[in-house]
A and B are shown apart, each in its own frame.
Chain A
Amino acid sequence: MSFNRIVLDYPSNPTPTAASMPGAIVRSHLNQACTQAFMDWVSAEFDCSSQPFPNAATLPSIWEVVNGTAVILKSGTASLKVVLIPTIAIGLDELRVPQEWIDIPEWTADYYIAMQTDSEIELVGYASHQDLKTTGRFDPIDRTYTLELDNIGQDLTSLFLSWQLASLPITQAPIAALPSLPQTQAQTLIDRLGNPSVTFPRRAIPFVQWAALMSHGGWRQQLCDRRQGRESQSVQTWIRSGLFSAAQSLGWQPRQCSLAGSRSLQSGLAKPLTIVGNPYELRVFPLDELRDESSAMTWRFELRSAVNDRIPAGFKLRLLTEDLQPMDHNEDVAVGEPETLFIDVMLEAGEGLVWEVEPAAEAFDREILRF
């Protein structure tokens, strides 16, 4: 029984979604609308910033296969991670959280919020990670943790007021670390689950394997592309074609790049990054002329500041294999304050790798670049 209903308006301007099947389309629209409405409300009413996690561009790859959206709230030094669980059910009687949000370490949150939609969007209940993990009922068929709405807090104002007053208990129950997945196994699984005739990919393989696919942004994007009938594109294709929207939606822009001391420009890619609050740019460009797509080529990965010519001491740029194993000569560390960090790597056609920086970039999610 709601003493004080919190009802939000639908945001206008939905982004068109591409999804493999009707359920996924509904999921995408629903999550998109509820996330935007929630973020607008919470930032305006509780004086905080809100960002989807890991980042907005990657959310469609989550919604393709599972319900829920993570949002990080920040107010001063305090931060709170919540997962929104929207539904179109009438008279919602439960908070049902997919296992991914409880048992994948990078995906866990502090609180989980049930949202119900009709002509309006309503915030109807919340529970902590600990509540769900320790007292929730686990449904092994649809792999969810549930709590009855009658048995949890229902007043979201109370949750956020309590947070504002630094009195919100934040306890996450301990969960097991997940084993990693070797590249070949991941590819086999993606091939199999990428077929949209698999209705419930998240139920089709053991959870630990599914979790490994989901927590690797590059694999998750691949799975999503496959199910939605998109070919994964190589970096060479992006450069040759002047970039399709797929690359741009992942944050890459075309950039003419040159080596230090050289006049000649190569067509390459750049991605803006924010690291410890400052703007940087990651550039990827070939050191050789683009030849035919089947031969090996040398590529440079370069990190430079967007405002000056210095990389702070201790920063690192690192390349890993698709399945996150280190590669030889794969790391450049800033000793003193160099102008750039760079790694040159020779790659066969079709080879993929993953990049990362240390400290981590804001809103970072792993991506696989294929060459």
Chain B
Amino acid sequence: MQSRKDVVEIFSTFLRLEADRPAGWLVDGRLRRRMTEMQDLIPDRSSRDWSLYWHEVWQTDQASGAEPHLTAYLQETCYWVARRIATNQRNLSWLADFFQIAIVRVPRLLHYFKPEYSSSLKKYAELGFENSLKDWLRVQQQVEVCSDWTLLHRLSRRRLQNALTQSGRTATAIAQYTLAWDCYQELTATLKANARPMDDTWSAIADAYNADRLAQVGPGTPIATAAELEQWLLTCATAVRQFLKPAILSADAPFSDESSFHPLDFIADPHPSPIDQWIIQDEETLRSQQHQQLQAVLAETIASLSEPEKNLLQDYYSGQMTQVDMAKKLGIQQYQVSRQLERVRRSILKKIILWVQKNLHTSPTPSVVESMSHSLEVWLKDYGRVPS
């Protein structure tokens, strides 16, 4: 697949994928017009700097229409992650699905990305896309080994109701099924086998449902038999499995040609005035200084770790060893490796927080710390790639 080179294209086109391969770029006319105008004002700005600009616009106002520009910017990044993971899974036909699953994470990525700590939105997003796909795969694997009866236990109320909504049930039916599910959950235990509950348990579930149906579904709700309840619950399990398949995930990425453009809320296009430009340039200079300083703090912190701690980081972040491998090498348990890694990470994070607190005067509230923690992950991955 050809990477895009032209700045306007990078911020206004979206990848079209067939199941296992890219099939061209779709242009969003409105985004392209806007980028063309903006590029005319500031012709020499790099795409990286444009990404930071749009991110800043987004942070100021999430409804400003900056997000689709950034989603466009991240198309290749997302593609390469999706491709890598589909290859690992030995199933390239999942490529388009993986792309969709990952690309919807863009808003959350934008929320936690902080240019003060991270110089590259692409690198940050790459890690974010990768993690979201790993999470998704983990969920799929767990769901696959469940019988319907176990799956019904290992379900959140929200997912149940979303799945039923998506499968087209009416609100009343959803209320009935949810109460049936509540009774199932309270009257059976997942700690026992994966098997179908016994008939006398089904009677108890029916009794419980019928006792509560008028209060919890609504007046006039008919009595349900044990057989009906069992059917409803099997329907729920099927709906949930269907819901969790990638084809159903909402493709929020707006990509279309001009005529079938997905409507978004735009406010007046932000045109940078010359003064804005100078301020932006000053900020860019300041920011790159800050990044260099942060990098120095990070390098110093890592240098001052003990040899075993450095090796731990190297082994893990090189991507070559799993925690299980590391545990074998060190002759300890896997959870101990996990705990030690956590501690080393946390000590580095703390040093960075204190530096940022002192030099950037930022109070380490949880979301600030979470942003820094994410950035640290990106840095450590880079660190791991370089042999010590």
Contact = CB atoms under 8 A, between A and B. Distances in A.
A158 B370 contact: yes
Interface of A: 1-4, 6-7, 9, 21-26, 29, 45, 87-94, 96, 118, 126, 139, 141-142, 144, 146, 148, 150, 153-155, 157-159, 161-162, 165, 167-169, 197-200, 203-204
B369 A155 contact: yes
Nearest to A96: B157
Nearest to A141: B216
B374 A93 contact: no
A7 B338 CA distance: 8
Interface of B: 105, 108, 127-128, 131-132, 135-136, 138-139, 142-143, 146, 151, 153-159, 175, 178-179, 182-183, 185-191, 207-208, 211-212, 215-216, 244, 335, 338-339, 342-343, 345-346, 349-350, 353-354, 357, 363-370, 373-374, 377
Contacts of A139: 157
Given A1-B131, A24-B186, 15 more contacts: A1-B128, A22-B186, A25-B191, A26-B190, A45-B342, A88-B190, A91-B139, A91-B142, A91-B159, A93-B159, A153-B366, A199-B208, A199-B212, A203-B212, A203-B215
A155 B131 CA distance: 13
Contacts of A144: 157
A94 B158 CA distance: 7
16 contacts: A2-B131, A3-B131, A25-B191, A26-B189, A89-B156, A91-B244, A92-B156, A94-B157, A94-B158, A153-B370, A157-B342, A157-B345, A157-B373, A161-B346, A161-B349, A162-B369
A203 B191 CA distance: 25
B186 A96 contact: no
A9 B207 CA distance: 38
Contacts of A162: 364-366, 368-369
Contact of B158 (A23, A96, A197): A96
B189 A23 contact: yes
Contacts of B128: 1, 3
A94 B187 contact: no
B298 to A, nearest CB: 16
Given A141-B175, A199-B187, A93 B373 contact: no
Nearest to A89: B156
Contact of B216 (A22, A148, A203): A203
A24 B373 CA distance: 37
A48 B135 CA distance: 31
Contact of B155 (A24, A89, A150, A154): A89
A200 B181 CA distance: 13
Of B146, B189, B354, most A-chain CB atoms within 10 Å = B189
Contacts of A6: 342
Contacts of B139: 90-91
Nearest to A140: B216
Interface centre among A7, A9, A141 (most CB of B within 10 A): A141
B178 A1 contact: no
A23 B185 contact: yes
B346 A157 contact: yes
A195 B92 CA distance: 56
Nearest to A94: B158
A158 B132 contact: no
A1 B135 contact: yes
A93 B139 CA distance: 11
A169 B365 contact: yes
Contacts of A153: 366-367, 370
Nearest to B244: A91
Nearest to B179: A141
B142 A168 contact: no
Tell which of A144, A148, A153 has the most Cβ of chain B within 10 Å. A153
A146 B335 CA distance: 31
B145 to A, nearest CB: 10
Interface centre among A1, A153, A168 (most CB of B within 10 A): A1
